[in-house]
Amino acid sequence: MNDSLNKVTELLRELPGIGPRQARRLSFWFMRKDARWVETFARSILEARKGIHTCPMCTRLYEAGPHDSGTCRTCEDTSRDAGLLLIVEKDVDLENIERTGTYRGLYFVLGGTTGPLDKQPEKHIRIDGLIRRLREPATPVREVIFALSATTEGEDTAAYVRERIERTLPQHTFKLSELGRGLSTGTELEYVDADTMRSALERRT
């Protein structure tokens, strides 16, 4: 009976994208790996968690330095356009968009997706945090840009958030927009779908 090993395997299965066989292989790997490495690994996670704060502005995770201002570096960067707020699903989406170097406004990380069958959207996306963020008089937002994936989940989430904004902040003065649809890198015309083609035609340049 490998009870304690089975326990590790079970916990590893909770990691996103790890199947049962890989979880088992990883369990053994953790058992055979140098003890110091495993301790360093565990400590690194626990310590990183201590230093990692949730930015109250965008809700992303960021590492608070010795002179932490209380918000993440993007939110406190006064050279960025505080009138633009890009709504993304996940921390890695935000990181990837930053990597493209194409956006100079601020962000808000929803933390998940929702859909028409979701009875408790507040549990899956930080909608209340977003509403609070949009109410803040200090940083008036001119435009909220939905940058969610071009999938049913992304569209359902955007629809829900739009509706909640319109209902909760009926007098808002900011614009609501979403990323343009069109041909993305690699799209072949032989396989293009109607939605993408329609957008690509409308937004031809």
CA distance 12 to 54: 25
The answer to whether residue 17 forms part of the interface with a copy of itself (CB under 8 A) is yes
| Cβ density class 187-202: b for 16+ within 10 Å, e for less | eeeeeeeeebeeebee
Note whether 89 and 151 are within 8 A (CB).
no
Please tell me the count of residues contacting a copy of itself according to CB under 8 A: 93
Q: What minimum distance in Å lies between the beta carbon of 137 and a copy of itself?
A: 25
Q: What minimum distance in Å lies between the beta carbon of 116 and a copy of itself?
A: 19
Of 113-121, 129-137, 163-171, 194-202: span binding a copy of itself (CB under 8 A): 194-202
Which residue number, 79 or 185, has a Cβ lying nearer to a copy of itself? 185
Note whether 115 and 150 are within 8 A (CB).
no
| Cα dihedral 106, 150, 129, 47 sign | negative
The answer to whether residue 28 forms part of the interface with a copy of itself (CB under 8 A) is yes
Of 113-121, 122-130, 164-172, 184-192: span binding a copy of itself (CB under 8 A): 184-192
Site for a copy of itself, residues 122 to 151, rule: CB under 8 A: 145, 147-151
The answer to whether residue 195 forms part of the interface with a copy of itself (CB under 8 A) is yes
CB atoms within 10 A of CB 5: 14
Note whether 112 and 125 are within 8 A (CB).
yes
One of 79, 100, 120, 173 touching a copy of itself (CB under 8 A): 100
The answer to whether residue 159 forms part of the interface with a copy of itself (CB under 8 A) is no
